Structure 1
Amino acid sequence: MERPHPLLLVLLLLLLSVSAHSGDSTLNSRVTHSAETVLQMQAEDHTRLTYLASLVAGRSFVPIGSGRQILQSPTYVVKAKIGTPAQTLFMALDTSTDMNMVPCTGCVGCGSNKPFAFAKSTTFKSLECGATQCKQVQNTNCLGTTCLMNMTYGASSIAANLAQDNITLAIDSVTGYSFGCIQKAIGTSLPPQGVLGLGRGSLSFISQTKTLYKSTFSYCLPSFKSPNFSGNLRLGPIGQPKNIKYTPLLSNPRHPSLYYVKLVGIKVGPKLVNIPPSAFALNPSNGAGTIIDSGTVFTRLVTPAYTAVRDEFRRRMGRHAVVSSLGGFDTCYTVPIGKQVPTMSFMFEGAELSMKQENFLIYSSAGGITCLAMSASPSLNVVANMQQQNHRILFDVANSKVGISAESCS
Structure 2
Amino acid sequence: MKQLAALLILIALPVPYRAHTASVFPGAGAVSLLLTHADAGLGLARPELVRRMAHRATARRRLLSSDPPVRAPVSGGLAAGGIVTNEYLVRLAVGTPPRPVSLTLDTGSDLVWTQCSPCRDCFDQGALPLLDPAASSSYASVPCGAPPCRALPFTSCGGGGGDRRSCAYAYHYGDKSVTIGDLATDLFTFGEDNNGGRLPTRRRRLTFGCGHVNKGVFQSNETGIAGFGRGRWSLPSQLNVTSFSYCFTSVFESKSSLVTLGGGSPAIYSHAHTGEVQSTPLLKNPSQPSLYFLSLKAISVGSTRIPVAEEEEPRRRHRRRSAIIDSGASITTLPEDLYEAVKAEFVAQVGLPLITGVEGSALDICFELPPMASSPATFWRRRRRLAAVPELTLHLEGADWELPRGNYVFEDLAAGVMCVVLDAAPGEQTVIGNFQQQNTHVVYDLENNRLSFAPARCDRLVDSL
Instruction: Tell me the TM-score normalised to structure 2 length.
Output: 0.69
Equivalent residue letter for 2:144: C
Q: Higher relative contact order by CA 8 Å / sep ≥ 6: 1 or 2?
A: 2
Among 387, 392, 400, which residue is 2:441 paired with? 392
The answer on whether the counterparts of 1:219 and 1:393 sit within 8 Å (CA) in structure 2 is yes
Which residue pairs with 1:235 in the alignment? 261
CA 1:392–1:154 in 2, change beyond 3 Å: closer, same or farther? farther
Which residue pairs with 2:170 in the alignment? 150
Which residue pairs with 2:367 in the alignment? 333
CA 1:329–1:143 in 2, change beyond 3 Å: closer, same or farther? same
> Is the partner of 2:266 in helix, strand or coil?
coil
Instruction: Provide the rounded CA distance (Å) in 2 between the counterparts of 1:400 and 1:275.
Output: 22
Q: CA deviation at 1:328?
A: 3.0
What do the CA deviations read for 1:284-333 (whole angstroms, capped 9, x no partner)? Answer: 89898311000000100111211111111111101x11112344321112
Among 56, 69, 76, which residue is 2:40 paired with? 69
Please state if 1:256 is matched with 2:286: no
The answer on whether the counterparts of 1:146 and 1:161 sit within 8 Å (CA) in structure 2 is yes
Please state if 1:120 is matched with 2:147: no
> Is the partner of 2:458 in helix, strand or coil?
coil
Equivalent residue letter for 1:236: G
Q: Which runs of 5+ in 2 are unaligned?
A: 1-27, 45-51, 53-85, 160-164, 192-199, 269-275, 371-382, 460-465
Q: CA deviation at 1:143?
A: 1.2
Please state if 1:84 is matched with 2:99: no
User: Max radius of gyration: which structure?
Assistant: 1
Among 236, 247, 250, which residue is 1:220 paired with? 247
User: If each structure's strand is expressed as a fraction of its own residues, which one has the higher value?
Assistant: 1
Which residue pairs with 2:417 in the alignment? 369
The answer on whether the counterparts of 2:308 and 2:321 sit within 8 Å (CA) in structure 1 is no
Equivalent residue letter for 1:409: C
CA 1:59–1:237 in 2, change beyond 3 Å: closer, same or farther? closer
Moved more, 238-247 or 177-186: 238-247
What do the CA deviations read for 1:148-177 (whole angstroms, capped 9, x no partner)? Answer: 111223542221110111112233534320
What do the CA deviations read for 1:227-253 (whole angstroms, capped 9, x no partner)? Answer: 121x21122132533662211111101
Within 5 Å, which residues of 2 pair with 1:104-143?
A: 104-107=116-119, 108-113=121-126, 114-143=129-158
Which residue pairs with 1:161 in the alignment? 182
Instruction: Provide the rounded CA distance (Å) in 2 between the counterparts of 1:58 and 1:223.
Output: 28
CA root-mean-square deviation: 2.6
Moved more, 110-119 or 360-369: 360-369
Equivalent residue letter for 2:125: S
Within 5 Å, which residues of 2 pair with 1:268-347?
A: 268-278=301-311, 283=316, 289-318=322-351, 320-326=352-358, 327-335=361-369, 338=384, 339-347=387-395
Q: CA deviation at 1:278?
A: 3.6
Instruction: Provide the rounded CA distance (Å) in 1 between the counterparts of 2:30 and 2:444.
Output: 18
> Is the partner of 2:39 in helix, strand or coil?
helix
Which residue pairs with 1:180 in the alignment? 209
Q: CA deviation at 1:131?
A: 1.0
What do the CA deviations read for 1:336-360 (whole angstroms, capped 9, x no partner)? Answer: 5654111111111012221112111
Instruction: Provide the rounded CA distance (Å) in 2 between the counterparts of 1:139 and 1:288.
Output: 32
What do the CA deviations read for 1:199-237 (whole angstroms, capped 9, x no partner)? Answer: 000000011011xx3x200111000121121x2112213
Moved more, 329-338 or 217-226: 329-338
Equivalent residue letter for 1:251: K
Instruction: Provide the rounded CA distance (Å) in 2 between the counterparts of 1:224 and 1:172.
Output: 27
Instruction: Tell me the TM-score normalised to structure 1 length.
Output: 0.78
Equivalent residue letter for 1:315: A
The answer on whether the counterparts of 1:274 and 1:308 sit within 8 Å (CA) in structure 2 is no
Equivalent residue letter for 1:329: L
Equivalent residue letter for 1:322: L
CA 1:146–1:110 in 2, change beyond 3 Å: closer, same or farther? farther
